[in-house]
Structure 1
């Protein structure tokens, strides 16, 4: 994806985190830290935990963190799975999944749903994922996905259906936004759901 669209997606998520008023944030599937390093320097955050199953990505993130000024004890980076999170991460203000859900095998989505909405139960949960309807504008053939590691890519109707059902079952509301571009028919390159616990 182009750098402009990537930056737009990051800014949309940062704005949603700020709007939530969160002080303690989980970055689930943090990778090598495109979002995490920005969160690490936000003065309004008191605690930030990043999880990823790729040790190499986490090594790159740790190297980036050494090059910026981060308050001692503020960040925690863990080699762990978001579908089986540690219970000490329950009850954070906000949990973010930035372009990660599509890397999960569809058969494991129920485990992710349980982890997010039953175990972690953050006050706000932010999920972004590619919008499959936008793929033709990126030159992605109809028989392919944007990245070889993607297990699925949902159109907006499918994403909203999954989110709406999960939110209702767990006692959350869900608000939806097109992000990273704005085609009048196809929406954004990505789509975002912001869940708020009732």
Structure 2
């Protein structure tokens, strides 16, 4: 597959000239809260990783098929989302005894993305993000269905008709970088016009900044950054932050946006440090809530209609102003790609007996009687015979949980769940083959006489 973008000039705005993009991009500035030398606290896992894991977990649970990463940066989240799932889209394999068991539910921890997009206002990150979204040249990882990707350069406050239709929009550590006038248009463009099924936001929690050294004791103002907007006397974590909200401020902002645009919102956080702090509880008998380093909000589209109208966002074609429609919007398309399906097999499930024979051949070749289900699935001939359905493979091997056996399946195998290891498959009748040693041990064996020595006796 060629890595050149597939562009329809009649359907897209001007393609961004890649020669104008910076090629030597320095390391991104790290928030002061993530510098343990400044705060004296650490995070396990690291804070950026906790934010990413939170977003991926929500997207999996919501079962979205398309994701737009606004403020994508160099592509940190995109590089995970672009990885193909290991199976076709199907329900996870769950135990009948305990569907809430962590080990069982984790079997369904994949995303089945068909469309993936990124948007960022900074030209310095586009080259890196572009490489992330472009199809790999020599990938051996099966992809069971095509993936469409696109990358745009531009601001969040500008409406782009090409960005409609995404089921999920993600903004990780973005809103704190927005100028006040841009933040005012955040809800109008995202909730009011794009109207995703779910929208995820993380942003720094100013309450956590109390962990910073006191300004009067350690001259913290020289390590932090005074509010550049002049609206407050707060000292922020990052030189480009325009806003850092307390927990109460963030809740008020998120609930107001949700109410304005017909969404429900769930507010929490990630990032409990090695030295945790807690908000005092209104009820003395109840424990306090942890003070997270990053606040999180999950906005879910509700059934109600928005209280505000986003009509002013859209532009219209005027007869006296040619090119005043969406074709002239300020976003520049950096790349648009198709990751084709390259799955093994012909897309059809083979008879159970054929799949069973290949599984047995693997056990014999590996000379082992029990392996994980994922190890078996990693054999492309097996996954291809199952047409990408791991549930079909389990059914062929006798079934497990909510995945029953099918006609023609084998009684020779047992599929079981082992805590911490996931699903494993045992071949009941497996007999290991004894491997001949490279150098035969002759200790204790009778050494035959040399030719010509028969009948001779030795002695002193």
TM-score normalised to the size of structure 2?
0.41
Aligned to 2:207: 133
Query: Is the aligned partner of 1:56 residue 2:128?
Result: no
Gaps of 5+ in 1: none
How many Å separate the matches in 1 of 2:135 and 2:153?
21
Q: What do you get for the CA RMSD once the two structures are aligned?
A: 2.2
Residues 114-164 of structure 1: per-residue CA shift (max 9 Å, x gap): 011111110101011001111232558474211100001001110110110
Aligned to 1:148: 239
Residues 49-78 of structure 1: per-residue CA shift (max 9 Å, x gap): 100011111112223445965966522111
How many Å separate the matches in 2 of 1:139 and 1:20?
40
Gaps of 5+ in 2: 1-33, 36-44, 86-111, 215-219, 222-233, 280-289, 303-460
More strand per residue: 1
How many Å separate the matches in 1 of 2:83 and 2:235?
37
In the TM superposition, 1:67-78 aligns within 5 A as: 73-78=147-152
Query: Is the aligned partner of 1:168 residue 2:259?
Result: yes
Aligned to 2:113: 45
Distance verdict in 2 for CA 1:138–1:75, change over 3 Å: farther
TM-score normalised to the size of structure 1?
0.90
Q: Secondary structure at the match of 2:185?
A: helix
Q: Secondary structure at the match of 2:46?
A: helix
Could you tell me whether the CA contact under 8 Å between 2:187 and 2:261 is conserved in 1?
no
Could you tell me whether the CA contact under 8 Å between 2:175 and 2:203 is conserved in 1?
yes
Aligned to 2:55: 13
Aligned to 1:91: 165
Could you tell me whether the CA contact under 8 Å between 1:55 and 1:79 is conserved in 2?
yes
Structure number with larger C-alpha Rg: 2
Number of equivalent positions: 198
Aligned to 2:301: 197
How many Å separate the matches in 2 of 1:174 and 1:115?
18
Could you tell me whether the CA contact under 8 Å between 1:172 and 1:195 is conserved in 2?
yes
Q: Secondary structure at the match of 2:239?
A: coil
